[in-house]
A and B are shown apart, each in its own frame.
Chain A
Amino acid sequence: MKPVLMCRDVVVDFDGFRALQGVDLAVYPHEVRFLIGPNGAGKTTLLDVICGRTRATDGRVLFFSHDITQRPEYEIVQIGIARKFQSPSIFPFLTVWENMELAMRQDRRLRSVLRAKLTGEEKEMMAAQLERIGLLDERHRLAGSLSHGQKQWLEIGMQLIQRPQLLLLDEPIAGMSAAERERTGEWLHEMAEHCAVIIVEHDMDFVRRYSKQVTVMHEGKVLCEGSMDEVQQNEQVIDVYLGRGKNACCASGM
């Protein structure tokens, strides 16, 4: 099976600080890949490189057969990679409905936006998506007035309606209630029927419950890959990450 995403020897150098020191990663269709690792391991930087927010100093990022290493962010989005940021970032002074309208898959060039009108089909699709994330009744409210959890859901909905082939999530459950976490976990696997997902997460209970494949990063490198059980048995991982858990399990989040 061809991977959706291939990172080959990706290096990011922030003026001498090597945030990523040669990362290799392959993600396959319908996979939910968890990225874990201590703070500063380079997880978010890796997501940034994939979506074009940070430029790789060296190495290549391949999306199917496209080399996207040097493409601008908006083009990377257009070919099918969606990114959800850590803090909810929605448009507070647009309504929920208008937020969805902008997120929807569409021709995003100026000349077609100037003439754009919602078709019946598009309206149905947007309503269906809002129904799924439980915000259909809130569609005329300004997004800025939603609760924190609702904003998270709105943003997730905005990613889904783009129908991406690869979805990048950065700590999506931060600030969510227990019930919302559960919904997110279930939804993750539902999502994987349509696209591949890379998710950065610190909450180890959540990772244990919902992960199949886990990639452990440490100091800008991939330490090991495997299921959560395998990873937890790995000597190196125990040394640099879980090892600290013997004395200070809470500090490392394990």
Chain B
Amino acid sequence: MNKRWEYWLFFAALFLAPFYLTEFRLSLLGKFLCFAIVAVGISLIWGYTGILSLGHGVYFGLGAYCMAMYLKLEASRGHLPDFMEWSGVRELPWFWKPFAHPIVAIIAAIVLPTLLAALLSYLTFKNRIQGVYFSLLSQAVVVVFVTLFIGKQEWTGGTNGLTNFSTVFGFSLSSPLTQIVLYWLTAAVLALIFVMTRRLTTGRLGKVLIAIRDAENRVRFLGFNPTVYKVFVYSLSAAFAGVAGALFVLQVGLISPEMMGIIPSIEMVLWAAVGGRHSLMGAIIGAIVMNTAKSFLSENYPDLWLLFLGALFVVVVLFVPKGLAGIYESLAAVRIKGKRGHEREARVDVS
């Protein structure tokens, strides 16, 4: 089945959104697209490779903080950032200085999460630590970073995080035009990452990843070194999360330790689970649908959100393990009975 036109339609609808959404809704959608970028990475490592990471909040947060440091310095106009003054810091810490350059900030937002992920995954996968043990380790990293970021208030802004930005590259962040440009940038990055990941997964790499997920030992005895492949995809998904974090902070104007903690990390996994973790497009849709539901529910019934989230998780795990993408695929399969060509998504066991 050729799904290409459906993808074109989807991305065209995204790019045209500024013409049919209100400013408020557009800003929400822009935020959700950042989350969708994270979800593509989660689908790659979880749906394809079988690595469940409960720590992607950290990579998202690191990317966001890198960008935020630049924005904060630009907003401070050569002075010390406000929260540092309140904490009694006299001079800008050395590691803040390079972030005065936007290019450094953007590169760091990608490189730092990637390096952290590479280090964590290399040490664990090389020693053949897998499954739930890896998930727990990735979660431990979240706790370490959140504690560190809250504790070092004079460097990170503590619980409040970094906020009160004014401009990016000299353009006002509050102007509607800047917001629309940032939205388009986010949509373009999402499209780029989607196309790139799809090319990776439809090629031989995708088959190696599925093979690792289902029978890692067999892969090893075919002469592949699974560690290299797992470290590669895990680091790549962390890079996606870092980029997403940077785009997020530009549009939302705030990053705090709370946004990189355990609950957001688990929510990221849920986006992919609800959308269908075996499908990259499913993960994107999942992130958008879940966050739309979240903002609707928290606008109208703030207390119900967490309850709904928990219930949804149970329902998806029990009844629709392949998520929205699975439902869509079964409908499509009925429609064109049997005449399906080469199914290109990661195939998962339903049991």
Instruction: Enumerate chain A interface residues (CB-CB to B < 8 A).
Output: 51, 53, 72-75, 77-78, 82-83, 85, 89-95, 98, 101-103, 108-110, 113-114, 116-117, 140, 142, 158, 162
Is B205 an interface residue when CB atoms closer than 8 A count as contact? Answer: yes
* Chain B residues within an 8 Å CB radius of A83: 221
Cβ-defined contact, A93 with B214, below 8 A: yes
Question: Closest CB of chain B to A86's CB: distance in Å?
Answer: 12
Which chain A residues border B349 with CB–CB below 8 Å? 92-93
With A89-B215, A90-B218 as known contacts, state yes or no: A162 contacts B223, CB within 8 Å. Answer: yes
A91-B232 in contact given A98-B207, A114-B205, A140-B342 (Cβ < 8 Å): no
B69 lies within 8 A of chain A by Cβ: no
A to B CB contacts below 8 Å, 17 in the list: A51-B221, A74-B221, A74-B223, A85-B221, A89-B218, A92-B214, A93-B347, A94-B207, A94-B347, A102-B222, A102-B224, A103-B222, A110-B229, A113-B224, A114-B200, A117-B203, A117-B204
Q: Which residue of A lies closest to B348 (CB)?
A: A93
CB distance from B345 to the nearest CB of A (A): 10
Q: A93 to chain B: which residues have CB within 8 Å?
A: 210, 214, 346-349
The distance in angstroms between the C-alpha atoms of A89 and B222, with both chains bound, is 11
B346 closest partner in A (C-beta): A93
Complex alpha-carbon distance, A252 and B208, angstroms: 41
A102 to B215, CA, bound (A): 13
Contact between B211 and A113 (Cβ–Cβ < 8 Å)?
no
Known: A74-B225, A89-B215. A110 touches B342 (CB 8 A): no
Contacts beyond the supplied A90-B215, A162-B223: 8 A-B pairs with Cβ under 8 Å: A74-B224, A74-B225, A77-B223, A92-B349, A103-B222, A110-B205, A114-B203, A158-B222
Q: Quick one: which of B215, B223, B342 contacts A91, CB cutoff 8 A? A: B215
Distance in angstroms from A176 CB to nearest chain B CB is 20
Per a CB cutoff under 8 Å, which of B205, B215, B220, B342 touches A113? B205
A77: chain B residues at CB < 8 Å are 220-223
Whole-angstrom distance from the CB of B203 to the nearest CB of chain A? 7
Known contacts A73-B220, A78-B223; A110 and B215 CB within 8 A of each other:
no
Is A116 within 8 A of B228, CB to CB? no
B217 within 8 A of A: yes
- CB within 8 Å of A: which B294-351 residues: 342, 346-349
Interface pair A162/B228, CB less than 8 Å apart:
no
CB distance from B308 to the nearest CB of A (A): 32
The residues of A that contact B203 with a CB separation of less than 8 Å are 114, 116-117
Docked CA distance A72–B223 (Å)? 10
Determine the chain A residues whose CB is within 8 A of the CB of B225 once the complex forms. Answer: 72, 74, 108
Number of A-B contacts (CB under 8 A): 82
The docked-state distance in angstroms from the alpha carbon of A92 to that of B218 is 12
Interface of B is mostly: helix
Q: Chain A residues with Cβ under 8 A from B217's Cβ? A: 89
Complexed CA–CA distance, A114 and B222 (Å): 17
B131 to chain A, nearest CB (A): 18
Contact A110 B223 (CB under 8 A): no
B341: nearest residue on chain A (CB-CB)?
A140
The reply to whether B221 and A73 contact each other, CB–CB distance below 8 Å, is yes
Closest to B231 in A: A110
Minimum distance in angstroms from A46 CB to a CB of chain B = 16
A147 to B107, CA, bound (A): 52
Contact partner of A102 among B211, B228, B348, CB < 8 A?
B211
Task: List CB contacts (< 8 Å) of B17-65 with chain A.
Answer: none
The CB with the most chain B CB atoms within 10 A, among A77, A117, A140, is that of A77
Q: How far is the CA of A108 from the CA of B211 in the complex (A)?
A: 14
* Nearest Cβ on chain A to B168's Cβ, whole angstroms: 34
Chain A min CB distance to B302 (Å): 41
- Residues from chain A with a CB closer than 8 A to the CB of B222 are 77, 102-103, 108, 158, 162
- Which residues 174-210 of B sit at the A interface, judged by CB distance below 8 A? 200, 203-205, 207-208, 210
Q: How far is the CB of B202 from chain A (nearest CB, A)?
A: 11
Closest residue of A by beta carbon distance from B200: A114
A141 to chain B: closest CB distance in Å? 12
Kindly identify which residue among A85, A89, A98, A110 contacts B228, using a CB–CB cutoff of 8 Å.
A110
**Given A93-B348, A110-B232, are A101 and B207 neighbors across the interface (CB < 8 Å)?**
yes
A142 CB contacts on chain B under 8 angstroms = 347
Chain B 224-250 residues near chain A, CB threshold 8 A? 224-225, 228-229, 232
Query: Nearest-CB distance from B234 to chain A (Å)?
Result: 13
Find out whether the CB atom of A113 lies under 8 angstroms from the CB atom of B214.
Answer: no
Residue of A nearest to B342 (CB): A140
CB distance from B344 to the nearest CB of A (A): 11
Q: Out of B210, B215, B223, which one reaches A108, CB within 8 Å?
A: B223
Q: Is the CB of B224 within 8 A of A108?
A: yes
A110 to B342, CA, bound (A): 24
- Bound-state Cα–Cα, A22 to B89, Å: 69
Q: Which residue of A lies closest to B199 (CB)?
A: A114
Residue of B nearest to A168 (CB): B221
Q: How far is the CA of A89 from the CA of B215 in the complex (A)?
A: 8
A91 touches B211 (CB 8 A): yes
